[in-house]
Structure 1
Amino acid sequence: MQFHLKALVFKQLPLVIASLFVAACTSTAVPKPDVNYAGNYSVASTQSDIETIAVDSRWWKSFQSAALNELMQAAQQQSPDLLISAERVKQAELQMRIANASLFPSLSASASSGESRSTSDGGSNTRSESTRVGANISYEVDLWGGIAAERASAKAGYDATRYDQDAATLSIKAAIASGWFQWLALQERIATAHKNIAIAERVQKIVDARYNNGAATAADVAQQKTNLLTQRSSLLPLELQARQTQSALAILLGKTPQEFSLAAENLLAMQVPQIAAGTPADLVARRPDLAASEADLRAANANIHAARAALLPGISFGANAGKSASELFSLNPATQTSGWTLSLAQTLFNGGRLVNQKRLTEARQSELLLQYHKAILTALQEVDNALVTADISQRQETSQQEIVANAERSLRLTEARYRAGTDDLLSLLDAQRSLFQVQDSLVQQRLSRLNAAVDLYKALGGGWQLAQQDTE
């Protein structure tokens, strides 16, 4: 009976191994999220007569600011965040090399020499010596593709880290551009605030003189004094924001705030590019964060294959050779040994650990697929929002420019009436203050347009292309 059982086992063994091989080699393709891409974005440019600019990897140069170009160059070399992300890429590359080491056999060598003494009950002593050197080579046969799947997972993890670095670079450079524009806008607003304070001081002198001559009341003096103090107080938050913005830029550039300084440029003369957004379907290949999500999904898919292979028998091959002698440090005359082994190991019971590990990797893949889907939808929303903001801020600036033009016209007319003696100085100063206020609003509208352009560049990937990255 026992003989027939053994014969049955050996007869069915090839069939079992073949079925396991087929099961292990059956790997599913990396799943893709189902996204219905529209033909175009929902917002079109209102300036059809202006030529649009394609998104370039050096997108900040489209603002035509020499100081901004210098800041970007300094950030590339000194930014702590960029240097940290570069180190993470190095770590991922080394992890990938560790996984690729499974392509090669493992070779080890050993040497030993020793002496032992023993004493019997009769008092006789026995002494023995031995010396041995040997070498061993072993290699695990990747019959089910599990080791290759682990290498593929490490490669996908490296790609994800590399794409994360590109996404971090884009975010940091966008933050630098926004911070630079913010600082310029604050300088313009501080200058406007000083003009308003000068006007308030002149008005205060006029009111004081009229009060001394009996033409104004004490309430008029107190009211104007309150206005002057309010103007002076409004300057302090602007100066604080300017200092904080400059310090934040210093940290992004890897400098101490105390050693960092900026040279002002004219914000209103800054070029605002008209950016070509492309089509929604192109966005997946244009954003490094989406490429990183896809790489994570590839890694999860490879992990599933590795987990399935772990359920199957492991096959390894080994060979060894050695030389030993019975005298210390002497290998002649010696005994030479050599041999080889071919082993097959299969886990029979481990409480469901391997099965649950496979299920865990499958659940992780499902989660990453949903996250990738959400990331694509969020990216499309960010582009749409950036386009809407760019469109609205552009129209608001156009409207504000008309307001400024009318305020300038009102000031010219008030000056003419004042010179003709038909209007008083207070009306002239009030017209001047109104002009400064609408000019301050124009500065803020220009800042909104510039920030909207930066946000759009960032949402579109900043000129990054997946195909170019993969061919490097």
Structure 2
Amino acid sequence: MDKVPEANITYAPVWEYLPQNEGAINIEKDWWKAFESPQLTQLVEIAQQKNSDVIIASERVKQAELQMKIANASLFPTLSLNASSGEKRSKPEGGTWSNSGSTSVGLGASYEVDLWGGEMANRHAAKSNYRASVFSNEAVRLSISAGVATAWFNYLALQERTITAKKNVEIAERIQKIVDSLYRNGAATAADVAVQKTNLLSQQNALLPLQLQLDQTRAAIALLEGQVPQAYQLASEKISDLKIPKLSAGVPADVITRRPDVAIAEAQLKASSANVYAARTAFLPGLQLSGSAGKSASELFSLNSALQSTGWSLSLVQTIFAGGRVANQVRISESRRVELLEQYRKVILTALQETDDALNRVNITEQQENNQQNILTQASRSLKLNEDRYREGSIDLQTLLDSQRSFFQAQDSLVQQRLARLKATVDLYKALGGGWQNQ
């Protein structure tokens, strides 16, 4: 008989050892509305209905629920109905043919007694797997919502950067006119004209990659929405008009209990513990109770003068030798449980790291945006003063071009800093599990 391996199948959630949820924050389920972007709200709501990953995750929840119902069927006995009718012709050697027929109908019932709790463990495993699929569905929805928000902010930033690049082209065209005028009056050289022409062409060329990225981002949003990219159109908003909500992370226990991926890992660990117990019960004898009742007659298709019968049986089954199959199945279950326990710990540590990183990025990007706004103010003032000074002939063309370049870079950097701050806020929402709560 295979030897039963030793296994410890108990565990405690890690957050039992962390601080309690004092000062925990509440995040609205529709957290994306905090940015006060009507277009973003519409995009997220559509994605929650039509995104392929969301639909796939929902179907997996249905499959897990059906598997749980299959496991729960072990609570009930199995009933079977059988009926048969037939005829046989026989002829003894040297005799004549004779016909004989028979008809029977019977009802049978069997039930496996859950002596050691193995079936109950299977039901617990199925329930935990179902809960894991529900949490996985929530994790997918959170990921898609965050993905839509990030893509939308990217789109608005690219729109703003494209507008800034076009304005920079207009400034280059204005400077080109100034250089041409000075050249005609003998106050500028042909080299100055060529330098500014090169600058103008460079600014016009800088528009092309921005327009390409804008189209690619629009197509990415269409994919998230479950739409065909070619004909997909988006409304417009100003990225500077979006509100950036203030968030605090709360204590560690608050962080890890509000994330669906942590709940998934815990549910999977519970299922693996139940699977270990169910596998170990295979070493123990099984008890099955069965009963039957029926009628049979020697006449074809007739039960008028039938023989009635009833019976029951109680059977005990014990596996003596299986070539190590049962023992190795237990070891596989135990190894799987150890794997999931380490995965559980890893998910918790990752949750804490992601929250800490997101908090730091929110704080840093806010400071960077404020600093960049001051840089832009000074760059705008410098460009205006140098344009006037160039007309007066007190500075050379290169100084003016440097001022224009600094102004353009300051404008472009401000938009990118705004985008970085918005994305950091989305990442913080995601790190905190959005508005989801483990019930």
Unaligned runs of at least 5 residues, structure 1? 1-22, 41-51, 468-472
1:157 and 1:299 in contact (8 A); partners too: yes
Q: Which residue of 2 aligns with 1:59?
A: 31
Q: State the match for 1:47 in structure 2.
A: none
1:68-87 aligned at under 5 Å gives the runs: 68-87=40-59
Contact 2:148/2:221 (8 A) holds in 1: yes
Match of 1:297 in 2: 269
Q: In 2, distance between residues paired with 1:53 and 1:178?
A: 23
- Range with bigger deviation, 355-364 or 421-430: 421-430
* Corresponding residue number in structure 1 for 2:207: 235
Alpha-carbon deviation of 1:259?
2.8
Partner of 1:43: none
The 5-angstrom pairing of residues 52-451 of structure 1 reads 54-411=26-383, 413-414=385-386, 421=392, 431=403, 434-451=406-423
Deviates more, 1:287-296 or 1:218-227: 218-227
**CA distance 1:425–1:201, change in 2 (3 Å):** farther
Tell me if the contact between 2:15 and 2:256 (Cα under 8 Å) persists in the aligned partners.
no
Q: 2:432 is matched with which residue?
A: 460
The alpha-carbon deviation at position 398 of structure 1 amounts to 1.1
Name the CA shift for 1:144/1:53 in 2 (closer, same or farther; >3 Å). Answer: closer
For residues 106 and 149 of structure 2, what CA distance do their matches in structure 1 show?
Answer: 64
Q: Matches of 2:273 and 2:89 in 1, distance apart?
A: 59
For residue 75 of structure 1, report the CA deviation from its aligned partner: 1.4
How many Å separate the matches in 2 of 1:320 and 1:223? 101
CA distance in 1, matches of 2:70, 2:266: 23
Q: CA deviation at 1:30?
A: 3.3
Structure 1's 418 and 223: CA in aligned 2 closer, same or farther, altered over 3 A?
A: closer
Tell me the distance in 1 between the aligned counterparts of 2:336 and 2:32. 38
Query: Given residue 432 of structure 2, which amino acid in structure 1 is its aligned partner?
Result: L
Shift of 1:34: 8.7
Report the Cα distance in structure 1 between the residues aligned to 2:194 and 2:19, rounded to whole angstroms: 62
Determine the C-alpha separation between the residues in 2 that align with 1:74 and 1:53: 28
Whether 2:11 is the aligned partner of 1:30: answer yes
Listed one character per residue, the Cα deviations across residues 180-227 of structure 1 (whole Å, up to 9, x for unaligned) are: 000000000000100111222233333344445554444333322222
- Is the contact made by 2:110 and 2:289 (CA closer than 8 Å) also made in structure 1? yes
Provide the rounded CA distance (Å) in 1 between the counterparts of 2:380 and 2:178.
23
| Superposition deviation, residue 95 in structure 1 | 0.8
* Cα distance in 2 for residues equivalent to 1:141 and 1:450: 59
Q: Return the alpha-carbon distance in structure 1 between the equivalents of residues 266 and 239 of structure 2.
A: 40
> Aligned to 1:466, what secondary structure does the other structure show?
coil
Equivalent position amino acid for 1:205 in 2 = K
CA pair 82-371 structure 1, distance change in 2 beyond 3 A: same
Per-residue deviation, 1:118:
1.6
Calculate the TM-score normalised by the size of structure 1. Answer: 0.86
Structure 2 counterpart of 1:466, one-letter code: N
Q: Which residue of 2 aligns with 1:20?
A: none
Change (3 A) 1:365 1:207: same
What root-mean-square deviation, in Å, do the aligned CA atoms of Structure 1 and Structure 2 show? 2.6
In structure 1, the residue corresponding to 2:10 is in which secondary structure? coil
Q: TM-score, normalised by structure 2?
A: 0.92
**Counterpart in the other structure of 1:4:** none
Cα distance in 2 for partners of 1:27, 1:141 equals: 25
Amino acid in structure 2 at the alignment position of 1:130:
S
- The alpha carbon displacement at 1:353 in A equals 0.7
1:263 CA displacement:
1.3
Structure 1 CA distance for aligned equivalents of residues 358 and 166 of structure 2:
34
Structure 2: gaps spanning 5 or more residues: none
d(CA) in 2 for partners of 1:59 and 1:275?
11
More deviation, 31-40/359-368: 31-40
Taking only the aligned residue pairs, the percentage that are identical comes to 56
Measure the CA separation in 1 of the matches of 2:89 and 2:37.
Answer: 86
| Local SS of the residue matching 2:231 | coil
- Aligned partner letter, 1:378: T
Contact 2:249–2:255 (Cα < 8 Å) also in 1: no
Query: Alignment length, in residue pairs?
Result: 433
Instruction: Tell me the distance in 2 between the aligned counterparts of 1:161 and 1:253.
Output: 22
Residue-by-residue CA offset, 1:102-128 (whole Å, 9 max, x unaligned): 111000101111001122221322321
TM superposition shift of 1:412: 5.2
Deviations 1:6-41 (CA, angstroms, capped at 9, x unpaired): xxxxxxxxxxxxxxxxx99x984334459975899x
Task: Decide whether the 8 Å contact of 1:118 with 1:125 is kept in 2.
Answer: yes
